[in-house]
Structure 1
Amino acid sequence: MGHGHGHGHGHGADSDRRYLAAALALLVVFMAAEVVIGLVANSIALISDAGHMLTDAASIALALIAMGMAARPARGAYTFGWKRAEILSAAINGLTFVLLVVYFVYEGVRRLVEPPEVKGGLVLGTALAGIAVNAVAAWLIARADRSSLNVEGAFQHILNDMYAFIATAIAGAVVWLTGWGRADAIAALVVAALMAKSAYGLLRDAGRVLFEAAPTGVHPAEVSAAIAAHAEVTAVEDLHVWTVTSGFPALSAHVIVRPGGDCHRIRRELAELLHERFHIDHTTLQVDHVPGTACRIARAADRPAAGPPPAGITS
């Protein structure tokens, strides 16, 4: 039986938290101002952007909490620690997108049917400021470790919000220049479509981890064939490949080798193969000889009555 460990992120967790905290502060300040302006301008596009920004802030706050939980050492019943916390955070982010999509589609369609009077100039100016704020926030989060599904979820929130502000700016310009109020509702529907796309990606990726599917790009049949291709391996049984959390793939398998094979050497060679070819470092390999040739345990009745007992296990 052997284990290999080699997981971790390329960026420091402390620096990641600083980037996320700076982006959170920036978003909260602008969001508060946008809610007030959206109500004054009577713009569903601005209010939808503010709602989207609220989920941005919530996703970053949740990401910070999840990062703190994931950093806790494994102890007691939690043998992997709290590393799945970031995956739950990503799933919650995806679900918030779904709820917002439902609301903004409803409100957007309602305003298409009965368009209210919208102050286009105010919408345009606020949206342009929102583009700048989200660009800075996206830059901050992009400097953190985006291989983490948790951080990637927060980044997708910010990126989608920036696209939404672009749509809102266009709508504001149309309303301001032409007076066509339905442009504001159309912008809200564009925001909803962007949210739906991000929700699908986040929930799909988080679901793969929560249901312990093989890591993306790693096919269990291919892994099994690679192990079985070893000159001294005769069979591969009970193969499992899954992801504990972002950047932490794991594998376990029962490997049967030819009679007389060096189990320890073969295990080391297989661990190296899995590292180099599939980038899997956390491996648990039970390596045994073909049944009937591996070992026998001497019975007590076979031991001599006096003198030191012979070795209990022989190969």
Structure 2
Amino acid sequence: MSHDHGHSANRNRLLIAIAIVLAVLVVQLVGAGLSGSLALLADAGHMLSDLTGLVVALMATIVAARPATDRQTFGFRRAEVFGALINGVILVVVAVTVTIGAIGRLISGETDVHSVPMLVTATIGLVANAAALLLLRPAAEHSINMRGAYLEVLGDLVGSATVIVAAVVILTTGFAPADAIASLVIAALIVPRAYSLLRDVVRVLSESAPADTDVAEIRDHILGTKGVVAVHDVHVWAITSGAPVFTAHVVCDPAVFSGGRTGRLLDELSGCLSEHFDVEHSTFQLEPAEHADHEDDFHR
């Protein structure tokens, strides 16, 4: 699948997921009003944040599909990272708000919760979230932006399941605080997902090497290539998730230059990066030993 086709497929998935989430949000708000359930209202609030996140993800996907320019030489793919950043912040805000509301209800001892509409509404949400989750899952493995959308819908699914459990407990035992406790569980489930997403965003924006990239192994592969004497100034970072970029200065044997083998060596090096490390964008500066000797001391 080409990059453009991938973005088109992602947009279609997001549009369908947005429609599903919007419909469930309306149902949950009505159900929360009828049942008086804080857990259901918390899940609706989470759903609202997810709807906002999905819209942001859709906008980021559209922007990321724009071609590169002289000013944005890598294109606009990093817009996906900023979309994921907004998603992560939204998740944190929702978690804090839900926690405050749940603690307040536990302290006040409010018990006016109707379990039947709570159960019916949460079940509808569970089924709809499962459908949206299956829709987004294929794209979540290749895009940090789509991963953020996937994680938010996953949280909605778990939240709906939590509300169902609370509704059943209230229906069978009359233990009304189960509603507020379920709200705290939903908030607790949001936190690690928000942390994971924000951690990945920070890794990309700080231009750290991707988590699954072993720089030492890449260096060893380069050094093992015929004609390579040394390698330094190695840099690996990512434009967005799944789009690593690599640069390095490679000191070559004099025979590489005198024999006109620089083109072949470049093909071998870039092929190695692409085949073994899934790096499609790599840049190598080939140097004779005498050039490397007088480069700045910070080159490694």
Q: What's the TM-score, normalizing by structure 1?
A: 0.86
Match of 1:278 in 2: 277
Q: What's the TM-score, normalizing by structure 2?
A: 0.90
Q: Which runs of 5+ in 1 are unaligned?
A: 1-6, 295-315
Name the SS for the 2:75 alignment partner.
Answer: coil
**Residues 1:131 and 2:130 are matched in the alignment:** no
Task: Assess, with a 3 A threshold, how the Cα gap between structure 1 residues 145 and 41 changes in structure 2: closer, same or farther.
Answer: closer
Match of 1:222 in 2: 217
CA-CA distance at 1:9 after TM superposition = 4.7
Distance 1:258 1:266 in 2: 11
CA-CA distance at 1:267 after TM superposition = 1.6
Structure 1 letter corresponding to 2:51 = A
CA-CA distance at 1:76 after TM superposition = 2.7
**Residues 1:175 and 2:170 are matched in the alignment:** yes
Structure with bigger helix share is 2
| Partners of 2:32 and 2:41 within 8 A in 1 | yes
Radius of gyration: which is bigger? 1
CA-CA distance at 1:33 after TM superposition = 2.6
Moved more, 92-101 or 134-143: 134-143
Distance 2:146 2:182 in 1: 27
Moved more, 26-35 or 159-168: 26-35
Structure 2 letter corresponding to 1:230 = T
Match of 1:140 in 2: 135
State the superposition RMSD in angstroms. Answer: 2.0
- Cα deviations by residue, 1:118-154 (Å, 9 ceiling, x for unpaired): 1111211111111011111112222445411111110
| Partners of 1:236 and 1:256 within 8 A in 2 | yes
| Partners of 2:42 and 2:98 within 8 A in 1 | yes
Q: Which runs of 5+ in 2 are unaligned?
A: 294-300
**Residues 1:257 and 2:256 are matched in the alignment:** no
The match for 1:198 among 183, 186, 193 is 193
The match for 2:61 among 58, 63, 67 is 67
CA-CA distance at 1:84 after TM superposition = 0.3
| Partners of 1:220 and 1:241 within 8 A in 2 | yes
- Cα deviations by residue, 1:265-308 (Å, 9 ceiling, x for unpaired): 222111111112211110010112211699xxxxxxxxxxxxxx
**Residues 1:42 and 2:41 are matched in the alignment:** no
| Partners of 1:146 and 1:152 within 8 A in 2 | yes
| Partners of 2:140 and 2:150 within 8 A in 1 | no
**Equivalent residues, number:** 288
Distance 2:272 2:288 in 1: 20
Runs of 4 or more above 4 Å deviation: 7-11
Identity of aligned residues (%): 38
